[in-house]
Amino acid sequence: MDLAHAAVQARLLATERVNIRLFGYGAKGMALSMVETAIAMTDAHISAADIHRIVELAKSILSHPVELLPGVREAVSKVAAERPVVLITKGDLFHQERKIDESGHGDLFHRIEVVSEKDERDNARLLREFAVEPRQFAMVGNSVKSDVVPVLALGGYAVHVPYRLTSALERAEVDALHPRFAAVASLADLPTALARFEQAPLP
């Protein structure tokens, strides 16, 4: 089964959309969806060896070294010197904790939260726990669906840092002219974007 084939990708994506509610996000859930898709597309004729290849692929993803974007520590350090910074990420807890530990940047964050979903409800819950109003909060991330749309809906600010690879599960649309939204080319531009938010009155 060719994972690069459009029909295979479409079938896998459809399976993942259904299974997200059971498996959550991450390589482990993706691997289970790949096995299910392979079984369905081969009429249950897939070999044990091919299933083993899928498992090995998932292991390679889970053990892949953390690759930080240029300027991450400098940008986060600059923001953290002036404001409390919280890392909010979603996915498999064990995998996310390992990535945070390997990044060597855990010390920059006031608090670290691993959640099952970054939607309006979960963001609202976290803001209540932080005792922070939405107008005092800005989310920064590469996913419009998870990092931008829910926070804007709550009345907060969002900064999108595009990345060349984005899961189809994370694609969404946003009004580029929204007054509480900014898109930056790199994290080096983050402090400037946050400063602009602070200088502008909340619409």
| CATH code at position 138 | 3.40.50.1000
> Which CATH number belongs to the domain containing residue 25 in this structure?
1.10.150.240
Residues 85 and 182 in one domain: yes
Say how many domains are in the chain.
2
In this prediction, residue 48 carries a pLDDT of: 95
Is the pTM here over 0.75, yes or no?
yes
Asked if 114 and 34 sit in the same domain, the reply is no
Q: Is the pLDDT of residue 1 over 60?
A: no
51, containing H or E segment: helix 48-62
The token pair at 23 is: 């498996």
Q: Which residue, chain included where needed, has tokens 């498996």?
A: 23
The whole-angstrom separation of Cα 198 and Cα 41 is 52
Does residue 67 fall inside a structural domain?
no
Report the interhelical angle of 190-199 vs 72-80 (nearest 10°).
30
Give the angle 24-27-33 at the CA atoms, nearest 5°.
70
Query: Is the same domain home to 56 and 91?
Result: no
Q: Are residues 17 and 83 in the same domain?
A: no
188 with 158, same domain?
yes
CA distance 202 to 17: 35
What range defines the domain where residue 177 resides?
72-199
Q: Give the mean pLDDT of 7-35.
A: 91
The tens digit of pLDDT for each residue in 25-50 reads 988 999 999 999 999 999 999 999 99
Using DSSP, state whether 159 is helix, strand or coil: strand
Radius of gyration of the CA atoms of the chain, in A: 19
Q: Which two tokens stand for residue 116?
A: 């099952």
CB atoms within 10 A of CB 70: 10
Same domain (yes/no): 37, 76: no
201 exposed, middle or buried (CB, 10 Å; 0-12, 13-18, 19+)? exposed
Per-residue pLDDT tens digits for 162-196: 887 778 888 889 998 999 999 999 888 999 999 99
Note whether residue 1 is domain-resident: no
Cross-strand pairs, 183? 160
Residues 48 and 87 in one domain: no
Q: What is the pLDDT of residues 85-136, one digit of tens each?
A: 999 999 888 889 899 888 888 888 999 999 989 999 999 999 999 999 999 9
Q: What is the pLDDT of residue 143?
A: 93
Where is the domain boundary, 62, 82, 103? 62
Residues 24 and 85 in one domain: no
Task: Give residue-wise pLDDT tens across range 60-90.
Answer: 998 888 887 788 888 889 999 988 999 999 9
Residue 2 binned pLDDT confidence (cut-offs 50, 70, 90):
low
